[in-house]
Every structure is written in structure tokens, then in C-alpha cells.
Amino acid sequence: MSSSDSRRKHIMISYAWRGTQDLAYEVADQLKNENIPVWMDIQDGIGGNINDGMAQAVENSAAICFFMTPEYQKSKSCRKELEYAEKLEIPLIPCRCRVDFKPSAWLGLISAGLKWYDFRDLSDKPVNATMNQLINYIQTNIFQINPTVFPDLEGRTIPRIFRNRLQYRSSSPLSLTNSEANEQTGHRYTSLNDTYTTQDMVMPLEGYEKESLVSLEQSIQSIIHLFNDDIHRYVYIARQNTRVNPTDLSPDESAAVHLYSMQWTPVSDSLYIHLNRALRTVNRQALAPWFPYLKLFLTALYKLPSCHKTIWRGVKDDLSAQYKKGEKIIWWGVSSCAGSVSVIEQFIGQNGIRTIFSIEATNAKFIRDHSYFKEEDEIILLPGTYLQIVDKMQPAQDLTIIHL
């Protein structure tokens, strides 16, 4: 990589949230102290879709500095980052962090033959010596900065490296266009499961209100088993993205809404998918592990201003047979809606079989200020929303509009 090419790029810090966060922070900070451009997800933020944001971070990297732990080896996201970087032939810089862990499987393969940096034993504070080696390697091999040799060492075979300071900074935080964000968030607005009615008698949502309000990190402890280890990364991103939040919610409440709005990869792993599945189940005992998070999430929603307007939701299916004029129904899940029918048309298109719901809302909630996708004016209906089918029309052969 030429010096001019590398100077437009950053060093990406790739790590598993659990176990190496403090070390990753320290390494990132020391690199920044040398004016080495650094990108780290929880410091620099991710705008738009997480997958696209991480891909862009990899593409803009001069090298990837990654921290090898058992948690890192188990992480699907970390694996995708390194494999994508390897495909793009971006230099990889492995760091070993645990005395009792030797990388194997995909991580052992991808790190084989690479020079690695030893952060395994911090008891005697060797981090400074290792950091010096890492900084020197990045400056001389990645950014190709010629070392400065002290006069008293001239003539020796191994020069003493002086900390060269690069006079440029990393680029602005990642962001996506509105259309890119819309493409990634459409699933919440168009999920079939959230609009199917059920003939089963479902008990009211109760019990969560007896829970104490806890931090976001504490609220997910009883549901961690439903997700892979990447839930910690999403929680931390939600936390960092809501550090500066409007005063109507506490930081934990705002982060709970933010976490709900995030779309994970794959989509089926998203928190809102699991939450709505639990809310719709007839077995209310299955909902109990969600109570701490529900307490935090619903407390936040009840504090937000209510929306009294027509809102919209749509699916790419014909649901006309399930919705009969005059009937009363309950949507048990959290239902994401849009304030404009044109937004729904972006998700479901203007051709093919479609059902659009026109909903006269009286207690919907605006979540834009706390959403991951702030470009969208997302409005949500609370779980257990009671609806009546006022009318049903078919303005085109493949389109049904249901007025609720």
C-alpha cells in the first residue's frame, strides 16, 4: 500500500465486547495519541444499517488490528469482518490477549503465519513495551513513515524509533443515505407475523409492571440465551448512540428503545423479532424472561408523546380474508408504522399483491429521537393495541386497503 493510499485510511479495532473492551480502548487511545487514525465502533458510531456500516469501516481500513479471545472466535460478526478484510487483501494485525487461549478453527487459520502482538500477561504492565512495538509496526509498515534516528544512535544497525506524528485525522463518522436506511429497515414495517390475527385466546400482558427498573445491560440478562454473543455489541452500540439523548427519557430508557429499533444480521436474530414472537405467544410463561427489558422499554414508551393521526403499515400479501368489517382485533406485538403511505410503498412496492393498513391512531408513539434510524419518522403501536376494522376497499386488483 502506498503512503498516499494509506493516509486516507484508518486502523480498525476489531474485538469481542466481552473481556477485551478495556484493552481495545487503551490500544485505540494510544494509537490516537500518536495521531494514527483509528476507527472503533463504540467510539466512532455506526450510522444506518450495521452490516453496511461495518463493511464500510473495513473498506476504509489501512489495516485491521484484532484481539483474539474465545469470545472473538465465537463471534459471527468478528469472523465476517476479518474474512471480508482478507478478501480485500487488507493487512491483518493479530493481538493475543489470553494466556489460556490459542486460536483455532477459522481464527487459527486466518492468523496463521502473521506476526502477532503479545498482550497476554498484563500483571507486570508489559502493555507499554508491546504498544511501542505495535505503534512502530503501524507507522513503518502500514503508513510507511520513515523512522527518525536519534543522533547518538547513528551508525548502529538497529535504529531507535522516535514517535512520528502523522498530521492528519480520520474521516467523519459513517452514515448511509435515507434510501439505504429505508431498504434495511423495511422488515419492521412489513412483517407478516405482526399483522396476522389469531383465533386463540391470549391472556393480557401483565406481570412485567412489578419489575424494578434496571440498567439496559441488566435488563437483558434473562434473555441472553436467546441470542448469540453479538447481543453485547448491539447493546453497547445502543448505549453509545444514546449518550446524548433528549431529557424526556433516562439514558437506559432511550437505549432500550434504540436497541429495539436496530436490525441485526441475520434479520431473524433481531431483538424485535424475538420480542414480538414472545408477545404473540399463547404461553404467557414464555414471556417472563422478557419482563425486565419490557419494564424498561414500555416505561420509555409511556413517557413519549402520543400520536393522534393516521399512520400506515403494509405487507406483501393479501390479508383481506382475515379482516372483516366491524370486527375487533388485538395486535399483541409492537407494531412499527409510518406517518406517510409513501414510506410504506417504498418497502412493499407499487405492484404485486399488497395489503395496506390505514390506522387512526390515538396512542401511538413517535420514537425518532431514540431510534437507530433517525432519518425515519418511525411510529409504533404499543403491544396489545385494540383495533376495530372500520372499512375495507380494493382500489386495484392486487391491492387491499384496510381502515382500522
Q: Give the pLDDT of residue 110.
A: 93
Report residue 39: phi and psi, to 5°: -125, 130
Domains of the chain listed by start with CATH number? 3-153 (3.40.50.10140), 178-403 (3.90.176.10)
Q: pLDDT: is 51 or 43 the higher one?
A: 51
Higher pLDDT, 12 or 3: 12
- Decide if pLDDT at 171 tops 70: no
Q: Which is higher by pLDDT, 190 or 307? A: 307
pLDDT category at 176 given cuts 50, 70, 90 is very low
DSSP 161: B
**Residue 133 and residue 117: Cα distance in Å, rounded?**
8
- Mean pLDDT across 4-11: 63
Q: Which phi and psi (to 5°) does residue 18 adopt?
A: -80, 125
Judged against a pLDDT cut of 50, whether residue 202 lies above it is answered with: yes
pLDDT (tens digit per residue) in 111-155: 988 888 888 865 444 456 788 788 888 888 888 764 433 333 333
Contact 267, 183 (CB under 8 A): no
Q: Is the pLDDT of residue 87 over 80?
A: yes
- Count Cα neighbours of 282 within 13 Å in the Cβ-side half-sphere: 5
Mean pLDDT, residues 230-246: 78
pLDDT class of 160 with cuts at 50, 70, 90: very low
Q: What are phi and psi of 346, to 5 degrees?
A: -65, -30
| Residue type, position 153, single letter | L
Candidates 377, 54, 383; CA nearest to 185 is: 377
What pLDDT sits at residue 8?
Answer: 55
d(CA 383, CA 241): 25
> Rounded to two decimals, what is the model's pTM?
0.57
Rounded CA-CA distance 359/234 in Å is 31
Indicate the range of 41-50, 200-209, 225-234, 306-315 predicted with least confidence.
41-50
Task: Label residue 200 by pLDDT band (50, 70, 90).
Answer: low
Residue 11's pLDDT band, with cuts at 50, 70 and 90, is: very high
For residue 135, what is its C-alpha cell?
Answer: 505503534
Is residue 185 classed exposed, middle or buried when 0-12, 13-18 and 19+ CB atoms within 10 A define those classes? buried
Report whether pLDDT(165) > 50.
Answer: no
Q: Please compute the mean of the pLDDT values over residues 46-66 and round it to a whole number.
A: 85
The answer to whether the CB of 314 falls within 8 A of the CB of 386 is: no
172 vs 364, residue with greater confidence: 364
Q: What residues are paired with 329 via a beta bridge?
A: 387
Residue type (1 letter), 254: S
Whether the predicted pLDDT of 388 surpasses 80: yes
Q: Does the pLDDT of residue 370 top 60, yes or no? A: yes
State the average pLDDT for the chain: 79
